């Protein structure tokens, strides 16, 4: 696997040292060396606010990105997207480091789901670029787009199961649709994934016989059967009580760990990258290796969780602590 950074497409606001970066594994064993964390220098030009916005609107956007020590599996480069007069992405620079569980966290209506749709090419940017494993999604021809989408596993809020199919057939569906595997092989894969998410006893049930949490887990199993390189979870915690949210978070983290091991064993070209979209701070704190704080169409600050949870940025601190007092108001 190449760990070369795609320096030529690194946007100017992402200031990362190009060599000898601390890795997450390294920082777990020893405290991060603060002098190695790149931040905007005092004389570094800060990017201008987006057209129509004031400096004041973006005063909490430091645009700092603490290094992850990894290449980005998905990368937004100065991405703009509007719907009519609603500007959603306003010069977004964001990366999801390969092999990590990243969080995209931000208030409701900030454009988190719009981000996901750009990653899989369901929406195209008005300007700027979106790169998946270094390839530009908006520049892809239809055939390449189709192939690129196979890299992704998607988990939507309700699991998005087919109501007329039982759990087994729901999870088997992508394998029957996209592979030539025998029913024997399919059964092996489906049962392995359903056991992993704790649904081995529920294979013959219809979706309407499952609880909300079980439907999400069935959707999770289905998202994994094609061995995706990138798995996107859009608010997996919505509609779950705190305990089930905690259990689902742990399941996501455990499955990611297993998939990393498997990818290393099989020497796959890419380590599995997970992106979890949430407005729930607890979920972000619990499982995020890397946290992107999205607000007003741009990343306020991003970095490995340790750095982000200790950020001196008042906005980031307030947001990640879930406190009422601070710069973030209800407007
Ligand atoms: N297809 C669309 N057409 C028009 N407006 C849209 C569309 N998709 C999203 N939006 C708008 O973009 C903004 C961000 O939406 P979304 O990404 O769903 O937010 P969230 O961060 O809660 O996931 C919202 O104001 C939403 O109304
Ligand atoms: Mg959303």
pLDDT at 23 over 60: no
The pLDDT of residue 243: 85
177 CB less than 6 Å from ligand 1?
Answer: no
pLDDT tens digit sequence for 168-224: 999 999 999 989 999 999 999 999 999 999 999 999 999 999 988 899 899 999 999
pLDDT tens digit sequence for 238-291: 888 888 888 889 999 999 999 999 999 999 999 999 999 988 888 888 888 999
- The share of the chain scoring above pLDDT 70, in percent, equals 83
Q: What is the mean pLDDT of residues 38-64?
A: 79
Residue ranges in the chain assigned as alpha helix (H): 24-29, 112-119, 142-149, 167-178, 183-196, 212-224, 242-265, 281-287, 305-309, 314-321
303 CB less than 6 Å from ligand 1?
Answer: no
pLDDT band at 19 (very low <50, low <70, confident <90, very high): very low
pLDDT band at 21 (very low <50, low <70, confident <90, very high): very low
Closest ligand to the CA of 83: 1
pLDDT tens digit sequence for 84-132: 999 999 999 999 999 999 999 988 888 999 999 999 999 999 999 999 9
Determine which residue's CA is closest to atom 18 belonging to ligand 1: 113
Fold of 9-151+228-242+272-321: Rossmann fold (3.40.50)
pLDDT at 22 over 70: no
- 252-256, Cβ contacts within 8 angstroms, sequence gap of 24 or more: 252/101, 252/220, 252/276, 252/287, 253/101, 253/286, 253/287, 255/196, 255/197, 255/220, 255/224, 256/101
Task: Report d(CA 170, CA 224) in Å as an integer.
Answer: 12
Atom number in ligand 1 closest to CA 107: 21
Determine which residue's CA is closest to atom 20 belonging to ligand 1: 109
Atom number in ligand 1 closest to CA 277: 23
pLDDT band at 314 (very low <50, low <70, confident <90, very high): confident
86 CB less than 6 Å from ligand 1?
Answer: yes
Whole-number Å distance, alpha carbon 111 to ligand 1 midpoint, is: 6
pLDDT at 83 over 90: yes
- Report domain extents, the chain: 9-151+228-242+272-321, 153-226
Determine which residue's CA is closest to atom 10 belonging to ligand 1: 83
Average pLDDT across the chain, whole number: 84
């Amino acid at each position: 696997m190449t760990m070369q950074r795609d320096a030529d497409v690194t946007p100017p606001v992402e200031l990362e040292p190009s060599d000898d970066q601390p890795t997450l594994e390294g920082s777990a064993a020893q405290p991060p060396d603060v002098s190695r964390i790149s931040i905007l220098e005092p004389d570094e030009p800060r990017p201008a606010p987006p057209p129509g916005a004031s400096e004041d609107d973006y005063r909490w956007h430091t645009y700092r990105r603490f290094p992850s020590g990894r290449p980005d599996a998905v990368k937004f480069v100065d991405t703009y997207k509007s719907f009519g007069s609603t500007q959603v992405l306003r010069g977004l620079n964001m990366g999801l480091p390969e092999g990590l569980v990243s969080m995209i966290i931000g208030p409701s209506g900030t454009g988190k789901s719009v981000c996901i749709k750009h990653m899989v090419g369901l929406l195209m940017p008005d300007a700027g670029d979106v790169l998946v494993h270094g390839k530009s999604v908006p520049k892809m021809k239809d055939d390449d787009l189709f192939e690129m989408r196979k890299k992704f596993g998607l988990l939507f809020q309700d699991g998005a199961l087919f109501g007329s199919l039982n759990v087994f057939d729901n999870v088997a569906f992508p394998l029957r649709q996209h592979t030539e595997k025998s029913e024997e092989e399919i059964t092996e894969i489906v049962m392995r994934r359903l056991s992993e998410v704790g649904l081995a006893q529920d294979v013959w049930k219809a979706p309407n016989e499952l609880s909300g949490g079980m439907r999400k887990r069935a959707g999770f199993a289905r998202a994994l059967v094609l061995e995706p390189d990138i798995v996107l979870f859009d608010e997996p915690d919505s509609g779950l009580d705190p305990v089930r949210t905690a259990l689902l978070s742990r399941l996501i983290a455990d499955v990611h760990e297993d998939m990393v091991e498997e990818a290393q064993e099989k020497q796959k070209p890419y380590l599995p990258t997970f992106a979890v979209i949430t407005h729930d701070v607890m979920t972000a704190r619990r499982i995020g290796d890397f946290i992107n704080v999205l607000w007003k169409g741009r990343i306020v600050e991003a970095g490995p969780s340790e750095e982000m949870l200790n950020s001196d940025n008042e906005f980031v601190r307030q947001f990640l602590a879930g406190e009422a007092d601070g710069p973030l108001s209800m407007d």
